[in-house]
């Protein structure tokens, strides 16, 4: 059997790893996950496992971590180094990095099993679908293969949560469990790669796929019975885009599960019938994208053609039915000014979110927003992957005190970003904002930014120890 080590930086259970591990289990291959954030001897632990394959599931903000440790593992082991996930899917040229042996593009469920089987049986790995593979003797030669058709989700095994929960019992004890009920999104927002993924898979099966209600409920029952939960988080881009499915799911969930849940929705596909049923089924919190307060920017720059009236009317339904709200918003888009960014704050006030999350725009190459920014002169000359972050993580050392685009109000916008959530809750300071954002009080603004996040983390922590760790995180950030 083939031994595969999945390695990652952050301490969380990842659906991509769980899905791939479940497929590998069908071939009786050995799997183990290693999390750098939870290990002082991370490299040695991976090497002691003596893996045949070391696998990185990588998003673009994690590319520096992946390349660093690929180099270390390539130098110190004979393991094959492979990378999958969003980054190699949209930037397959990463295969040219010297320490990468192969990349997996797109959904790799069947591909990873075929790859591990071929590796175990000493068969050729050069012609496995979804994989680009370097020739072992001529590293400049790359075998590029077509994609598998998209799988129906009911045809795939349940994700292997044991790969995380057995090794990291803290994750198993988490009061919030997660389940992925769908894959794919029908929309083409310009800051997202979704339009590229749809083109990639055109003619290869249904792009937006939901589990059957029966399969989704059975998986949730398994989680509840085997690990327990106080809350459930439904993982999908837009739970409500298929209203018929969602209403049937909510009805069954209310009857058979009854645990408070969280989910993401598309706000312009919300109506009172849906929200009423969500409340009856114990939806405790909903997340949705507002993105920007200017209709013109939403429509013409972000390709989110929904009016303020539609957003406000739908958003206020959640207030009516007492469902907590978190909104997602973007600051630093092309043409952004302090005035246009403040319109996003004002729109959020109508929605009364518990937290109005704000992200600094990350215009990734090959997205439409990148091309728009380039065409209109908003990109810096030294723009590169090394500049990318998540758009919402902050550093008290000043490393995040910049906008990704060349904007006249850039410094003021950074300060408004830190104050964003606070200002959605407080209105009496509006007259002072033009003056406040002129002053470089970034450390103070960051404290204001991080406080509600830590407060929420402490509120929903399972133990006193976890609550104290949340408070420690706040103070550590402040004094660092």
CA-wise closest residue to 332 among 386, 384, 378, 388: 378
pLDDT of residue 387: 63
pLDDT of residue 397: 47
**Burial annotation 65-82 (CB, 10 A radius, 16+ → b, else e):** bbbebbeebbeebebbbb
Q: Is-contact 6 17, C-beta < 8 A?
A: yes
Positive or negative, the Cα torsion across 80, 86, 89, 95? negative
Query: What whole-number distance in Å separates Cα of residue 322 and Cα of residue 275?
Result: 10
Residue with tokens 């190699």: 88
DSSP codes joined into one string, 288-333: EEEE-S-HHHHHHTS-----HHHHHHHHHHHHHTT-EEEEEEEES-
Encoding tokens for residue 459?
Answer: 């509120």
Cα-based distances in Å from 397 to 2, 401, 438, 443, 446: 44, 9, 20, 9, 11
Residues 6 or more apart in contact with residue 65 via CB below 8 angstroms: 9, 36
**Per residue, what are the HEC states of 69-137?**
HHHHHHHHCCCEEEEECHHHHHCHHHHHCCCCCEEECCCCHHHHHHHHHHHHCCCCCCCCCCEEEECCC
Of 474, 449, 448, the C-alpha closest to 461 is 474
Report the distance separating Cα 21 and Cα 116, nearest Å: 11
**d(Cα 42, Cα 307) in Å, to the nearest integer?**
49
CA distance 82 to 89: 13
For residue 383, CA distances in Å to 157, 363, 402 come to 41, 10, 13
pLDDT along the chain (480 residues), means of 10: 96 96 97 95 96 96 94 97 97 96 98 98 97 96 97 97 96 94 96 94 94 98 96 94 97 97 97 98 97 97 96 97 97 96 97 94 93 94 68 52 90 93 92 89 80 69 66 59
d(CA 183, CA 261): 19
* Helix, strand, coil percent values for the chain (each to nearest 5): 45, 15, 40
Q: What is the DSSP string of 413-436?
A: HHHHHHHHHHHHH--TTGGGHHHH
Nearest to 326 by CA among 265, 392, 243: 265
Contacts of 353 (CB under 8 A, 6+ apart): 325, 326, 327, 424
Which residues make beta-bridge pairs with 159? Answer: none
pTM for this entry: 0.91
Burial (0-12, 13-18, 19+ Cβ within 10 Å), 22: buried
- Taking alpha carbons only, the member of 286, 277, 273, 358 closest to residue 318 is 286
Structure tokens at 438: 């002129």
With contact defined as beta carbons under 8 Å apart, do 366 and 195 qualify?
no
Q: What is the chain's alpha carbon radius of gyration, rounded to the nearest angstrom?
A: 23
Q: What is the DSSP string of 137-203?
A: S-TT-EEE-PPPPPPPGGGSPPP-THHHHTT-HHHHH-SEEEEE-EE--S---TTSSHHHHHHHTTT
Element counts in the chain: helices (H) and strands (E): 19, 15
CA proximity to 61, closest of 91, 38, 33, 40 = 91
Nearest to 119 by CA among 22, 33, 208, 54: 54
């Amino acid at each position: 059997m083939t031994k595969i080590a999945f390695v990652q930086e952050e301490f969380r259970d990842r659906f991509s790893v769980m899905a791939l591990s479940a497929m590998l289990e069908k071939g009786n291959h050995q799997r183990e996950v290693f999390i750098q954030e939870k290990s002082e001897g991370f490299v040695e632990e991976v090497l002691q496992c003596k893996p045949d394959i070391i696998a990185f599931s990588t998003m673009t903000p994690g590319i520096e971590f992946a390349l660093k440790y690929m180099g270390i593992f390539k130098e110190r082991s004979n393991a094959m180094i492979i990378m999958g996930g969003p980054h190699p899917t949209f930037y397959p040229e990463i295969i040219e990095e010297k320490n990468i042996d192969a990349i997996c593009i797109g959904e790799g469920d069947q591909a990873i099993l075929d790859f591990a089987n071929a590796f175990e049986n000493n068969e050729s790995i050069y012609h496995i679908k979804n994989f680009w593979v370097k020739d072992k003797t001529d590293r400049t030669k790359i075998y590029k293969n077509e994609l598998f058709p998209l799988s129906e989700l009911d045809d795939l095994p349940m994700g292997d949560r044991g790969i995380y929960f057995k090794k990291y019992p803290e994750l198993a004890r988490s009061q919030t469990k997660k389940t992925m009920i769908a894959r794919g999104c029908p929309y083409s927002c310009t800051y997202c790669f979704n339009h590229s993924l749809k083109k990639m898979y055109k003619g290869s099966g249904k792009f937006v796929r939901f589990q059957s209600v029966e399969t989704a409920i059975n998986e949730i029952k398994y989680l509840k019975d085997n690990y327990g939960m106080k809350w459930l988080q439904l993982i999908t881009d837009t739970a409500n885009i298929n209203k018929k499915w969602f209403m049937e799911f909510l009805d069954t969930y209310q009857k058979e599960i009854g645990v408070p849940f969280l989910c993401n929705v598309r706000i312009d596909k919300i109506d009172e019938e849906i929200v009423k049923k969500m409340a009856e089924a114990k939806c405790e919190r909903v997340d949705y994208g507002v993105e920007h307060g200017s209709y013109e920017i939403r429509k013409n720059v972000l390709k989110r053609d929904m009016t303020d009236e539609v957003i406000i009317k739908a958003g206020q339904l959640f207030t009516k039915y007492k469902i907590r709200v978190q909104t997602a918003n973007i600051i630093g888009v092309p043409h952004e000014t302090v005035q246009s960014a403040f319109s996003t704050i004002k729109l959020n006030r109508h929605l009364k979110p518990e937290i109005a999350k704000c992200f600094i725009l990350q215009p990734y190459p090959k997205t439409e927003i990148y091309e728009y920014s380039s065409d209109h002169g908003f990109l810096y000359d030294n723009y590169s992957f090394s500049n990318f972050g998540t758009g919402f993580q902050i550093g008290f050392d000043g490393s995040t005190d910049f906008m990704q685009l060349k904007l006249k109000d850039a410094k003021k916008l950074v300060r408004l970003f830190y104050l964003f959530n606070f200002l959605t809750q407080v209105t009496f300071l509006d007259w002072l904002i033009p003056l406040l954002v002129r002053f470089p009080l970034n450390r103070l603004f960051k404290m204001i930014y991080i406080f509600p996040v830590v407060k929420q983390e402490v509120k929903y922590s399972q133990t006193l120890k976890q609550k104290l760790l949340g408070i420690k995180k706040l103070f550590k950030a402040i004094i660092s």
